[in-house]
Chains A and B, each alone.
Chain A
Amino acid sequence: MSLYALCFILFSIGLYCLLVKRNLVKKIIGLGIAEYAVNLFFILLGFKENAEAPILDKYTASQNFVDPLPQALILTSIVIGLGVTAVMVAISVRIYEKYRTFDIREIRRLKG
Protein backbone atom coordinates (compact mmCIF):
# COMPACT_ATOMS: atom_id res chain seq x y z
CA MET A 1 0.00 0.00 0.00
CA SER A 2 2.82 2.38 0.70
CA LEU A 3 4.26 1.55 -2.70
CA TYR A 4 1.17 2.98 -4.36
CA ALA A 5 1.57 6.15 -2.30
CA LEU A 6 5.20 6.51 -3.41
CA CYS A 7 4.08 6.08 -6.99
CA PHE A 8 1.55 8.86 -6.60
CA ILE A 9 4.22 11.10 -5.11
CA LEU A 10 6.36 10.53 -8.20
CA PHE A 11 3.41 11.43 -10.40
CA SER A 12 2.75 14.60 -8.45
CA ILE A 13 6.40 15.63 -8.80
CA GLY A 14 5.98 15.42 -12.55
CA LEU A 15 2.72 17.31 -12.39
CA TYR A 16 4.26 20.07 -10.29
CA CYS A 17 7.17 20.38 -12.68
CA LEU A 18 4.75 20.69 -15.60
CA LEU A 19 2.77 23.44 -13.86
CA VAL A 20 5.42 25.63 -12.34
CA LYS A 21 8.52 25.66 -14.51
CA ARG A 22 8.81 28.25 -17.22
CA ASN A 23 11.24 26.48 -19.48
CA LEU A 24 9.74 24.41 -22.28
CA VAL A 25 12.27 21.61 -21.95
CA LYS A 26 11.56 21.37 -18.22
CA LYS A 27 7.90 20.93 -19.05
CA ILE A 28 8.74 18.07 -21.37
CA ILE A 29 10.83 16.50 -18.61
CA GLY A 30 7.93 16.85 -16.17
CA LEU A 31 5.56 15.11 -18.56
CA GLY A 32 8.09 12.31 -18.97
CA ILE A 33 8.31 11.80 -15.20
CA ALA A 34 4.52 11.64 -14.91
CA GLU A 35 4.41 9.05 -17.67
CA TYR A 36 6.99 6.86 -15.90
CA ALA A 37 4.88 7.01 -12.76
CA VAL A 38 1.72 5.91 -14.56
CA ASN A 39 3.47 2.96 -16.22
CA LEU A 40 4.94 1.89 -12.90
CA PHE A 41 1.56 2.05 -11.19
CA PHE A 42 -0.05 -0.36 -13.65
CA ILE A 43 2.67 -2.93 -13.26
CA LEU A 44 2.55 -2.62 -9.48
CA LEU A 45 -1.12 -3.51 -9.66
CA GLY A 46 -0.43 -6.73 -11.51
CA PHE A 47 2.31 -8.16 -9.32
CA LYS A 48 1.78 -11.44 -7.51
CA GLU A 49 3.90 -12.66 -4.62
CA ASN A 50 6.34 -15.53 -5.35
CA ALA A 51 5.20 -15.79 -8.96
CA GLU A 52 7.28 -15.87 -12.11
CA ALA A 53 7.57 -13.92 -15.33
CA PRO A 54 4.82 -14.87 -17.83
CA ILE A 55 6.93 -16.97 -20.17
CA LEU A 56 6.20 -20.66 -20.59
CA ASP A 57 9.08 -23.03 -20.49
CA LYS A 58 9.63 -26.48 -21.89
CA TYR A 59 11.10 -27.93 -18.75
CA THR A 60 8.99 -26.55 -15.94
CA ALA A 61 5.26 -26.84 -15.79
CA SER A 62 4.33 -24.26 -13.21
CA GLN A 63 1.38 -22.03 -13.84
CA ASN A 64 1.97 -19.44 -11.19
CA PHE A 65 2.51 -16.26 -13.19
CA VAL A 66 2.11 -12.57 -12.63
CA ASP A 67 -0.70 -10.89 -14.45
CA PRO A 68 0.27 -10.58 -18.15
CA LEU A 69 -2.50 -8.25 -19.21
CA PRO A 70 -1.19 -4.98 -17.70
CA GLN A 71 2.23 -5.77 -19.13
CA ALA A 72 0.80 -6.03 -22.64
CA LEU A 73 -1.00 -2.70 -22.29
CA ILE A 74 1.99 -0.85 -20.84
CA LEU A 75 4.26 -2.16 -23.61
CA THR A 76 2.12 -0.22 -26.03
CA SER A 77 2.13 2.82 -23.79
CA ILE A 78 5.92 3.03 -23.51
CA VAL A 79 6.40 3.19 -27.26
CA ILE A 80 3.61 5.73 -27.67
CA GLY A 81 5.29 7.90 -25.03
CA LEU A 82 8.40 7.94 -27.16
CA GLY A 83 6.43 9.16 -30.18
CA VAL A 84 4.79 11.95 -28.17
CA THR A 85 8.15 13.07 -26.75
CA ALA A 86 9.60 13.23 -30.25
CA VAL A 87 6.77 15.47 -31.48
CA MET A 88 7.09 17.77 -28.46
CA VAL A 89 10.83 18.12 -28.96
CA ALA A 90 10.31 18.93 -32.65
CA ILE A 91 7.85 21.69 -31.76
CA SER A 92 10.15 23.18 -29.13
CA VAL A 93 13.11 23.14 -31.51
CA ARG A 94 11.11 25.15 -34.04
CA ILE A 95 10.00 27.57 -31.33
CA TYR A 96 13.59 28.12 -30.28
CA GLU A 97 14.60 28.73 -33.84
CA LYS A 98 12.00 31.41 -34.26
CA TYR A 99 12.01 33.19 -30.89
CA ARG A 100 15.55 32.39 -29.61
CA THR A 101 14.31 31.44 -26.16
CA PHE A 102 12.65 28.58 -24.32
CA ASP A 103 10.94 30.81 -21.78
CA ILE A 104 7.18 30.72 -22.22
CA ARG A 105 6.58 34.21 -20.93
CA GLU A 106 8.83 35.70 -23.58
CA ILE A 107 7.15 33.66 -26.26
CA ARG A 108 3.78 34.96 -25.24
CA ARG A 109 4.93 38.53 -25.57
CA LEU A 110 6.59 38.21 -28.95
CA LYS A 111 3.50 37.62 -30.99
CA GLY A 112 3.61 37.75 -34.76
Chain B
Amino acid sequence: MLEHHVIILLMIAGAIVAMELEDMLSSVIALGAVGIGLTLEFLLLRAPDLAITQLVVEILSLIILIRATVGVKLPPEKVKGRIGYFLFAVVFVVAFLVFSYRALGALPAFGAPVMKMGSLYVKEALARTGAANIVSAIILDFRGYDTLGEATILFTSVIGVLAIVRKVGRKQ
Protein backbone atom coordinates (compact mmCIF):
# COMPACT_ATOMS: atom_id res chain seq x y z
CA MET B 1 0.00 0.00 0.00
CA LEU B 2 2.85 2.33 0.75
CA GLU B 3 4.59 1.71 -2.57
CA HIS B 4 1.89 3.58 -4.47
CA HIS B 5 2.52 6.65 -2.37
CA VAL B 6 6.26 6.46 -2.88
CA ILE B 7 6.04 6.21 -6.65
CA ILE B 8 3.50 8.98 -7.00
CA LEU B 9 5.64 11.24 -4.80
CA LEU B 10 8.61 10.50 -7.07
CA MET B 11 6.49 11.41 -10.07
CA ILE B 12 5.51 14.70 -8.44
CA ALA B 13 9.17 15.46 -7.75
CA GLY B 14 10.07 14.67 -11.35
CA ALA B 15 7.25 16.89 -12.62
CA ILE B 16 8.43 19.83 -10.52
CA VAL B 17 11.97 19.34 -11.82
CA ALA B 18 10.71 19.19 -15.42
CA MET B 19 8.82 22.39 -14.91
CA GLU B 20 11.54 24.50 -13.36
CA LEU B 21 14.70 23.67 -15.27
CA GLU B 22 16.07 26.26 -17.64
CA ASP B 23 17.65 23.90 -20.13
CA MET B 24 15.02 22.46 -22.44
CA LEU B 25 16.73 19.16 -23.13
CA SER B 26 17.03 18.39 -19.42
CA SER B 27 13.39 19.14 -18.76
CA VAL B 28 12.32 16.84 -21.58
CA ILE B 29 14.40 14.05 -20.06
CA ALA B 30 12.81 14.71 -16.66
CA LEU B 31 9.43 14.26 -18.36
CA GLY B 32 10.68 10.87 -19.52
CA ALA B 33 11.44 9.99 -15.92
CA VAL B 34 7.85 10.84 -14.94
CA GLY B 35 6.60 8.55 -17.71
CA ILE B 36 8.69 5.63 -16.54
CA GLY B 37 7.42 6.18 -13.00
CA LEU B 38 3.92 5.92 -14.44
CA THR B 39 4.89 2.62 -16.08
CA LEU B 40 5.96 1.22 -12.70
CA GLU B 41 2.73 2.42 -11.17
CA PHE B 42 0.70 0.66 -13.86
CA LEU B 43 2.56 -2.55 -13.13
CA LEU B 44 1.78 -2.26 -9.44
CA LEU B 45 -1.88 -1.60 -10.20
CA ARG B 46 -2.14 -4.89 -12.14
CA ALA B 47 -2.40 -3.45 -15.66
CA PRO B 48 0.33 -5.07 -17.80
CA ASP B 49 -1.22 -4.06 -21.15
CA LEU B 50 -1.06 -0.44 -20.16
CA ALA B 51 2.49 -0.73 -18.82
CA ILE B 52 3.82 -2.03 -22.14
CA THR B 53 1.95 0.59 -24.15
CA GLN B 54 2.93 3.46 -21.84
CA LEU B 55 6.62 2.51 -21.95
CA VAL B 56 6.93 2.43 -25.72
CA VAL B 57 4.73 5.50 -26.23
CA GLU B 58 6.88 7.36 -23.72
CA ILE B 59 10.04 6.49 -25.64
CA LEU B 60 8.52 7.65 -28.91
CA SER B 61 7.24 10.92 -27.52
CA LEU B 62 10.66 11.58 -25.99
CA ILE B 63 12.22 11.15 -29.43
CA ILE B 64 9.72 13.56 -30.96
CA LEU B 65 10.14 16.15 -28.19
CA ILE B 66 13.93 16.01 -28.38
CA ARG B 67 13.65 16.74 -32.07
CA ALA B 68 11.90 19.99 -31.21
CA THR B 69 14.63 21.13 -28.87
CA VAL B 70 17.82 20.18 -30.65
CA GLY B 71 20.04 23.00 -31.77
CA VAL B 72 17.88 25.69 -30.21
CA LYS B 73 19.75 28.37 -28.34
CA LEU B 74 17.55 30.68 -26.36
CA PRO B 75 18.57 33.89 -24.61
CA PRO B 76 18.08 33.71 -20.84
CA GLU B 77 14.66 34.63 -19.52
CA LYS B 78 13.94 38.27 -18.88
CA VAL B 79 12.89 39.60 -15.52
CA LYS B 80 9.39 38.53 -14.71
CA GLY B 81 7.27 41.64 -14.52
CA ARG B 82 3.83 40.16 -14.50
CA ILE B 83 3.23 39.39 -10.88
CA GLY B 84 -0.53 39.72 -11.22
CA TYR B 85 -0.72 36.94 -13.80
CA PHE B 86 1.33 34.64 -11.62
CA LEU B 87 -0.93 35.26 -8.62
CA PHE B 88 -4.02 34.61 -10.71
CA ALA B 89 -2.64 31.25 -11.81
CA VAL B 90 -1.85 30.26 -8.22
CA VAL B 91 -5.32 31.26 -7.01
CA PHE B 92 -6.93 29.29 -9.83
CA VAL B 93 -4.94 26.16 -9.07
CA VAL B 94 -5.63 26.38 -5.34
CA ALA B 95 -9.36 26.81 -5.99
CA PHE B 96 -9.29 23.78 -8.25
CA LEU B 97 -7.59 21.72 -5.55
CA VAL B 98 -10.05 22.78 -2.85
CA PHE B 99 -13.10 21.92 -4.93
CA SER B 100 -11.68 18.64 -6.11
CA TYR B 101 -10.86 17.62 -2.56
CA ARG B 102 -14.47 18.16 -1.60
CA ALA B 103 -15.56 16.04 -4.56
CA LEU B 104 -13.31 13.19 -3.43
CA GLY B 105 -15.85 12.21 -0.81
CA ALA B 106 -18.24 10.89 -3.42
CA LEU B 107 -15.76 8.40 -4.85
CA PRO B 108 -15.63 4.77 -3.67
CA ALA B 109 -12.75 3.91 -1.39
CA PHE B 110 -9.46 2.86 -2.89
CA GLY B 111 -9.41 -0.89 -3.51
CA ALA B 112 -13.14 -1.55 -3.64
CA PRO B 113 -14.52 -0.56 -7.02
CA VAL B 114 -18.16 -0.81 -7.99
CA MET B 115 -17.54 -2.90 -11.15
CA LYS B 116 -21.03 -2.79 -12.51
CA MET B 117 -20.06 -3.41 -16.14
CA GLY B 118 -16.68 -4.88 -15.38
CA SER B 119 -18.04 -8.01 -13.71
CA LEU B 120 -20.25 -8.64 -16.72
CA TYR B 121 -17.28 -8.41 -19.07
CA VAL B 122 -15.18 -10.69 -16.90
CA LYS B 123 -17.86 -13.37 -16.84
CA GLU B 124 -18.68 -13.33 -20.53
CA ALA B 125 -15.33 -12.75 -22.21
CA LEU B 126 -14.16 -16.31 -22.74
CA ALA B 127 -17.55 -17.69 -23.64
CA ARG B 128 -18.54 -15.08 -26.18
CA THR B 129 -15.27 -14.11 -27.81
CA GLY B 130 -12.83 -16.89 -27.08
CA ALA B 131 -10.03 -14.53 -26.10
CA ALA B 132 -8.05 -14.98 -22.93
CA ASN B 133 -6.98 -11.36 -22.58
CA ILE B 134 -10.06 -9.57 -21.33
CA VAL B 135 -8.81 -6.09 -22.20
CA SER B 136 -8.23 -7.13 -25.84
CA ALA B 137 -11.67 -8.68 -25.93
CA ILE B 138 -13.16 -5.41 -24.71
CA ILE B 139 -11.39 -3.09 -27.12
CA LEU B 140 -11.78 -5.26 -30.19
CA ASP B 141 -15.04 -7.03 -29.70
CA PHE B 142 -17.32 -5.54 -27.09
CA ARG B 143 -16.37 -1.93 -27.82
CA GLY B 144 -15.04 -2.10 -31.34
CA TYR B 145 -16.45 1.29 -32.34
CA ASP B 146 -14.09 3.03 -29.96
CA THR B 147 -11.13 1.37 -31.63
CA LEU B 148 -12.39 2.45 -35.02
CA GLY B 149 -12.61 6.01 -33.74
CA GLU B 150 -9.11 5.82 -32.35
CA ALA B 151 -7.72 4.55 -35.64
CA THR B 152 -9.37 7.53 -37.30
CA ILE B 153 -7.79 9.92 -34.82
CA LEU B 154 -4.33 8.49 -35.42
CA PHE B 155 -4.82 8.74 -39.15
CA THR B 156 -5.90 12.36 -38.83
CA SER B 157 -2.91 13.25 -36.69
CA VAL B 158 -0.53 11.72 -39.24
CA ILE B 159 -2.20 13.74 -42.01
CA GLY B 160 -1.99 16.84 -39.82
CA VAL B 161 1.72 16.49 -39.13
CA LEU B 162 2.50 15.84 -42.79
CA ALA B 163 0.42 18.84 -43.85
CA ILE B 164 2.09 21.17 -41.37
CA VAL B 165 5.61 20.11 -42.15
CA ARG B 166 5.46 19.66 -45.87
CA LYS B 167 5.85 23.24 -47.00
CA VAL B 168 8.83 25.49 -47.59
CA GLY B 169 11.75 24.33 -45.50
CA ARG B 170 11.64 20.68 -46.42
CA LYS B 171 15.16 19.48 -47.02
CA GLN B 172 15.85 18.69 -50.63
Contacts and interface: CB of A to CB of B under 8 A. Distances in A.
Q: When A and B assemble into the complex, do they touch directly, with CB atoms less than 8 Å apart?
A: yes
B61 A19 contact: no
Contact of A69 (B5, B48, B60, B138): B138
Contact of A44 (B101, B110, B157): B110
Contacts of B117: 69
B154 A79 contact: yes
Given A4-B104, A52-B46, A90-B164, A85 B65 contact: yes
A19 B101 CA distance: 21
Contacts of B34: 33, 36
B47 A71 contact: yes
Interface size class of B (residues with CB under 8 A): 35 or more
29 contacts: A7-B8, A13-B12, A16-B19, A22-B77, A25-B65, A26-B27, A29-B18, A29-B28, A33-B31, A40-B38, A43-B50, A45-B108, A47-B111, A48-B112, A51-B46, A54-B134, A56-B126, A69-B117, A69-B121, A74-B50, A83-B157, A86-B157, A87-B164, A89-B68, A91-B164, A92-B68, A93-B67, A93-B68, A101-B74
Given A55-B48, A78-B54, 16 more contacts: A9-B12, A26-B19, A29-B28, A36-B34, A40-B38, A46-B115, A47-B110, A53-B46, A53-B48, A54-B122, A75-B53, A78-B57, A80-B154, A87-B164, A90-B164, A93-B165
